[in-house]
Amino acid sequence: MTWLCDGSLEGFLCALYESFRLRRLPERLTRDRSTIDLFEEVYDIHTDDETAAKMMAHLRVQLAPDTLRRILHTTLCDDAAYERELLLYTRLALRDDKALHDLSQPVVFAIEGYEKRLMRVVHRMYGFVRFEMLEDSSLYARIAPPCNVLPLIGRHFAKRMEGERFIIHDTSRNLILVWDTVNLAVHPILEASAPILHAEEQRYRGLWKSFFESVAIEERKNYKAQRNFVPLLYREYMSEFA
């Protein structure tokens, strides 16, 4: 049977709860309704916040912090079909957490792989976010990363821009991360209008672009290496590649 959940962390926790309640595993667990065939038997999992909170409290008590963190992180990899593997991984962790060391177990390897990939994207975003200064001297950046790293990159920028207000806007998920020099928060939005830039913004963008071009050594140019390090999908909002 195929189980269908809503793709949120709560949805996943409810699916986990169901697997314990029904004492069975789904053949497939997915959040994507479009992948379901006409004649497939589907169990639509109702997301209930109370059940999710109970499940979460249980995991918090039962699992090592590292394992829990890994589970939470995996739910942010929204470009991968991680659900069933994560379900198996969580059940394995609850049953026997020593088995989590055994990397040759496909489930363990897969989940560690998802987290590793997510952290790689996080690290890349630390470098590749490009802020623009707006009219009111606050900073605004647009990103479109392959997985949902917005909740993970806030602290890093808040630490170094303590005194600056900034917004990071994930245009592919319509989420914004706001730092107002005191609080850090993620909000969903419907739409965003084009920002009005600071008078100096174009000048610094020009200076950055000319620095970027001057620093390359002609005799060593290597576009392949460049593309390995900055894949095209990250370049959309990086002004030096515009």
Partner 1 sequence: MQYFIQPFHKKSLCQNEIFSPHIFHKYYNTIMKLEEKLQILTDSAKYDVSCSSSGSTRGESYGSLGATHASGICHSFSADGRCISLLKILFTNHCIYDCAYCINRSSNDRQRAAFTPREVADLTLNFYKRNYIEGLFLSSGIVSSEDHTMELIAKSLEILRFEHGFNGYIHVKLIPGASDDLIRRVTKLADRVSSNIELPTQKSLALLAPEKSREKLFAPLELVRNDALEQSKHPIGMSTQLIIGATPESDYEILRLSSALYNKSLLKRVYYSAYIPTVSHTLLPALHTPPPLLREHRLYQADWLMRFYHFSYDEILSPQYDTLDERFDPKLAWALRNLHCFPVEINRADKETLLRVPGFGMRTVIKILRARRARSLGENDLKAMKISLKRARFFITIQGKRVKQTTLKYEYLQNQLLALEKPKAGTQPSLFDRFQSFTGEL
Q: Where along the sequence are the contacts to partner 1 (CB under 8 A)? A: 98-99, 101-106, 109, 123, 126-133, 139, 141, 156-157, 159-164, 200, 204, 206-208, 210-226, 228-230, 238, 240
Cβ atoms of 99 and 92 closer than 8 Å = yes
Q: How far is the CB of 110 from partner 1 (least distance, A)?
A: 10
Looking at residue 136, the DSSP 8-state letter turns out to be T
* Phi, psi dihedral angles at 73 (to 5 degrees): -60, -40
User: Considering the complex, what minimum distance in angstroms separates the CB of residue 42 from partner 1?
Assistant: 31
Nearer to partner 1, 20 or 229 (CB): 229
Residue placing its CB nearer to partner 1 in the complex, 62 or 127:
127
Q: How far is the CB of 11 from partner 1 (least distance, A)?
A: 29
Q: How far is the CB of 159 from partner 1 (least distance, A)?
A: 5
**Cα maximum dimension of the chain:** 65
Beta-carbon contacts of 195 under 8 Å, excluding residues fewer than 6 positions away, are 132, 134, 140
3-state secondary structure 38-95: CCCCEEECCCCHHHHHHHHHHHHHHCCHHHHHHHHHHCCCCCCCCHHHHHHHHHHHHH
- Which of 194, 215 has the CB closer to partner 1? 215
- The residue among 27 and 200 lying less far from partner 1, judged by its C-beta, is 200
